[in-house]
Chains A and B, each alone.
Chain A
Amino acid sequence: MTTPDHTAAADPRAQPDSAPAAPDAAGLAVDIPFTEPDLFRLRAEVAAHTSAVGDDDLVHRVLIVASELATNVVRHGGGAGRLRLWTADHAVVVEVSDRGDGIVHENPGMERPDPMSRGGRGIWFCRQLAEEFTINTGPAGTTATARFRLPR
């Protein structure tokens, strides 16, 4: 199955933001296109690969972030996306991208959500769990990148 091309808007390497660049295909631990039925498998793969490089705490953090980003894609980002995970510079990096309509808020997930609010807490959760989090969004799609430091 051929992976879809990324448009400039969704390609982190074209952005002025400091999202880590993904290695070529051979350096990727995980590279999964996904839709809703793939969420269970996606979580299992993310957890399996992360447990090889980190402890339970890291596995939980990476798993939660990967899953919330993927869920956002499925529910709000057009339904189909791509998850890539790799290690570089003593860190685990998770990148989730889609070709949906983009997020309306310029800087989503910066404010703590009201506990009684119905939705819209996934990105805030991600920002609490990853050491670095960047999100590039526009009318051609969204790419979110989370970086988790590995202990030396």
Chain B
Amino acid sequence: MTTRIEEQSVFIEQSPFYEKKVELLDEAEQTARLRQRKKRRLFIFASLCFSLILFAVSFLLRSPAPTPPPNPEVVPTPTEAPRAIDTTSLKAQIRQARQFTETIILNESDFALPSLDIKIAID
């Protein structure tokens, strides 16, 4: 014997409005899925475009071949005639010199005397 609720369920499921509702729900789900797929594709496409733009920018901004470094044996004094050097190279040279300066004391610690027992003996 079916209960009243079960009877009502059967009635609802058999009703044409229920079928329409299910149909509409299915459509809505499909539309949502399609929308999600579209969003995903758009996201991938946007990432690709952005990467390509970055690559193009970095390729265009790449620095020219570096000028030969100054001869370490000859350090020009400030009173010497200036050479024509473009700003990009000078910036790079300054950065390079700063990096060298930063490592001076650090590298020096490599030459600290080893800690050895200088009193190795039997007595």
Do A and B originate from a single complex?
no
Please report A residues at the B interface, Cβ cutoff 8 Å: none
